[in-house]
Structure 1
Amino acid sequence: MTETVSSGGLSESGQRLDKWLWFARVTKSRTVASAAVIGGKIKVNRETVTKASHPIKPGDVITSRISKNIRVLRVVAPGTRRGPAPEARLLYEDMSPPVLPRSEAAPSSAWAERAPGSGRPTKRERRKIDAFNDEG
C-alpha cells in the first residue's frame, strides 16, 4: 500500500503533526513543532506522541503544553499553507479552559506582587521583604 503525498504534507491517512502545528500557528517553526512533539509536550487524543510525522485528521484533539498555558485544540481542517492568523484559526476549534487573570488565580499581598520579568526588587521592596522574613 503506497501513500500519495501532496505538497502540503497531506496524505490519504492524514497530515503530519508538525506541519499542522506550524500551519495553525501553534509554533513559530516546524523545527520547534518537531522538538515539542519529540519532547512529549504534544498529545493527540490523550495519547503522547513521539514522532513529528504522526498523521492527524479532522476530529482529532491535540493537547499542547508548549507555552505556560495548556491549549486543547480540535482539528477542523488540514492546513495547506501557513497563512495569516485569521486563516490559521479556521484550522482548529479552541477547547481550552479560560485563563484566569493573575489577580483571581493567586491572591497575594499587594507590596510583594511583582510582574514576571520586572527585574530585581527595589531597595524599599528589599527592606520590606527582610522585615517580613525576620518577623517569623
Structure 2
Amino acid sequence: MRKTESLTGGGQPGGRVRLDKWLWVARFYKTRGLSAEAIDSGKIEVDGERAKRSRLVQAGDRLRIRSGPYEHVIEVQGVSDRRGSAAIASALYQETVDSRKAREAMAAHVRAMSASTGYESGRPTKKDRRDIERVRRRST
C-alpha cells in the first residue's frame, strides 16, 4: 500500500475510521485500549461534542484531546486504519496555532511550578524534613 493510500483510504467507505483506532494510528496513545479509555472518560471531543469510541472520523473533523494539564485542538487531515511511522502519523492531523501556543504556555507554567519546589535532586534530606515540619507547626 502506498503512503497516499494509507493517508486517505481508511477503513470505511468515504475515508472514515473509528475514533479509537484513529487516535492510536495518529500516535496520541500507545495502545488502542488507552485511546478507548480516554474516549470513555470524556477526554476526547469531536466537533465540540463528547464522542463514543465507535464514532467515525473523517478529514475535516475537529478534535479536542485533553491529556494531563495539556489540551490539543487538532483538525483531521487524513485517515488511516494502519499504524505507521511517526512521520506518517503526524501527516494525519494539523494542530491549531492557538492550541500550540496554549500548550507551550502550559508547559512553561509546569516547568516553573516544578522548579519552585526546590527539590530537584530527589528526596529532601533529614534537615530539610525538619525545616518543613517546623514551618508546618508554625502555620497551624
Structure 2 length-normalised TM: 0.73
Shift of 1:41: 1.5
Runs ≥4 in structure 1, deviation > 6 angstroms? none
Name 2:55's counterpart in structure 1.
54
Query: Does the 8 A contact of 2:74 with 2:94 survive in 1?
Result: yes
User: Contact 1:43/1:62 (CA < 8 Å) preserved in 2?
Assistant: yes
Identity %: 35
Q: How many residues align?
A: 125
Mark the runs of 5 or more structure 2 residues left unpaired by the alignment. Answer: 1-8
Question: What secondary structure is seen at the aligned counterpart in 2 of 1:70?
Answer: strand
Q: How does 1:1-136 map to 2 (within 5 A)?
A: 8-12=10-14, 14-49=16-51, 51-95=52-96, 96=99, 97-100=102-105, 101-102=108-109, 106=113, 110=116, 112-114=117-119, 120-136=123-139
RMSD (Å) for aligned C-alpha atoms: 2.7
Task: For 1:127 and 1:82, locate their aligned partners in 2 and report how far apart those are by CA, in whole Å.
Answer: 52
C-alpha displacement of 1:17 = 0.5
For the 8 Å contact 2:17–2:81, the answer to whether it is kept is no
Distance (Å, rounded) in 1 between the aligned partners of 2:24 and 2:71: 17
Residue-by-residue CA offset, 1:71-118 (whole Å, 9 max, x unaligned)? 21110111242111121110011122233324775497x5x4346xx7
Shift in CA distance, 86/107, structure 1 to aligned 2, threshold 3 Å = closer
CA distance in 1, matches of 2:133, 2:76: 51
Aligned with 2:63: secondary structure? strand
CA distance in 2, matches of 1:114, 1:14: 48
1:9–1:19: 8 Å Cα contact kept in structure 2? no
Question: How does the TM-score come out when normalised to structure 1?
Answer: 0.75
Instruction: Choose between structure 1 and 2 for higher RCO, CA contacts under 8 A separated by at least 6 residues.
Output: 2
Post-superposition offset of 1:131: 2.4
Q: Which has the higher helix share?
A: 2
**Mapped contact 1:13–1:55 kept (Cα < 8 A):** no
